[in-house]
């Protein structure tokens, strides 16, 4: 069974409803691609194994992270431990690539990101997609004396890695960003087409044992594989991305069916779910069959 992360929903209430089953009608153009969902189980999300429907993808894979026992996420990042798979999950993607050699591409989606699949049907599946045009999702960091220890550590790791990359990766990366900077992207959603899979695998191998955080690795890999000018900027060019939300905010209060994705989206109860599905039904009317 697959997590409700196929729509990016984190469900915190038990239900037999299948929130992603409906999307099989709109995803017929994804029959050659693999969906990779990343979910982190928590005490507030104990019933995410809800979706059993066929979304039209070639196959669906779920990466389930392990909780960081006794530490906040920030503490885990600072300590650079490997206790939480989500901090390092780029390392696990080559295993998925290897398993599905017939796939034409791989769409990665983290928890809490809603994917409006109907707005991606015309996207160029031969190009890289990432949220490089989304403010707060992709941020360029300039290292200076005021940078935190974590930023300095990651910056040093980036410099060390880039200096050892094969020439074609180095040229692409250095043409995309200046030497005193590096990019951070939370990587809630991105797409890797078949023609870049070998490059992605090579880059993971070149990282080796270096403790390069996922949100630093994703933009580095993408800029090393190709120039941002060649990304499909339309795919995730329009995303609702909220960095901070009031504790009582619901996804339906800021959701839009006109964009490619919405983040973050939490569904705390059945009422929230119904409101969200009704809002999403303006993009896919068949969703109303769920309510």
Q: Which residue has the higher pLDDT, 112 or 185?
A: 185
3-state secondary structure of 106: strand
Tokens 């029959």 locate to: 31
Token pair in block for residue 199: 């490059």
- E strand or H helix at 110: strand 105-110
Segment 201-222, tens digit of pLDDT? 999 999 998 989 999 999 999 9
> Would you place residue 195 in the very low, low, confident or very high pLDDT band (cuts 50, 70, 90)?
very high
- CA separation for the pair 131, 232 (Å, rounded): 10
Token pair in block for residue 146: 């005021």
Token pair in block for residue 272: 């929230």
- E strand or H helix at 204: helix 194-207
- CA separation for the pair 105, 197 (Å, rounded): 8
> Would you place residue 10 in the very low, low, confident or very high pLDDT band (cuts 50, 70, 90)?
very low
Return the sign of the alpha-carbon dihedral for residues 276, 278, 284, 289.
positive
Q: Which residue has the higher pLDDT, 66 or 186?
A: 186
Q: Phi and psi dihedrals of 252, rounded to 5?
A: -65, -20
pLDDT for res 165: 97
Write the secondary structure of 112-156 as one string of H (helix), E (strand) and C (coil).
CCEECHHHCCCCCCCCCECCCCCCCCEEEEECCCCCCHHHHHHHH
Token pair in block for residue 238: 């329009």
Segment 239-255, tens digit of pLDDT? 999 988 887 787 888 99
Token pair in block for residue 2: 């697959």
Using the predicted structure, report yes or no on whether residue 183 has a pLDDT greater than 50.
yes
Segment 111-156, tens digit of pLDDT? 788 889 889 988 999 999 999 999 899 999 998 888 899 999 999 9
pLDDT for res 260: 94
Kind of pairing, strands 239-241 and 105-110?
Answer: unpaired
Look over the chain and give the mean of its residue pLDDT values, rounded to a whole number.
Answer: 77
Looking at the chain, the whole-number percentage of residues with pLDDT higher than 90 is 43
């Amino acid at each position: 069974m697959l997590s409700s992360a196929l729509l990016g929903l984190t469900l915190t209430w038990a239900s037999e409803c299948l929130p992603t089953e409906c999307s099989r009608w709109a995803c017929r153009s994804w029959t050659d691609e693999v969906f990779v969902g990343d979910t982190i189980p928590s005490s507030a999300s104990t019933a995410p194994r809800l979706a059993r429907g066929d979304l039209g993808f070639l196959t669906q894979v779920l990466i389930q992270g392990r909780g960081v026992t006794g530490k906040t996420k920030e503490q885990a990042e600072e300590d650079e431990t490997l206790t939480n798979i989500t901090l390092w999950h780029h390392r696990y993607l080559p295993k998925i690539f290897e398993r599905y050699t017939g796939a034409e591409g791989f769409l990665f989606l983290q928890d809490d990101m809603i994917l409006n699949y109907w707005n991606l049907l015309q996207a160029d599946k031969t190009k890289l997609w990432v949220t490089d045009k989304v403010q707060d999702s992709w941020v360029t960091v300039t290292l200076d004396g005021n940078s935190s220890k974590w930023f300095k550590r990651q910056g040093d790791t980036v410099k060390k890695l880039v200096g050892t990359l094969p020439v074609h990766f180095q040229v692409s990366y250095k043409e995309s960003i200046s030497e005193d900077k590096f990019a951070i992207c939370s990587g809630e959603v991105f797409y890797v087409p078949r023609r870049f899979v070998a490059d992605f695998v090579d880059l993971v191998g070149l990282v080796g044992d270096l403790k390069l955080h996922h949100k630093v690795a994703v933009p580095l890999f993408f800029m090393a594989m190709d120039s941002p000018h060649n990304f499909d900027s339309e795919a995730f060019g329009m995303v609702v991305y909220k960095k901070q939300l009031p504790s009582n905010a619901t996804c339906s209060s800021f959701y839009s069916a006109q964009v490619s994705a919405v983040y973050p989206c939490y569904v705390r109860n059945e009422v929230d779910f119904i409101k969200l599905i009704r809002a999403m039904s303006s993009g896919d009317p068949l969703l109303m069959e769920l309510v």
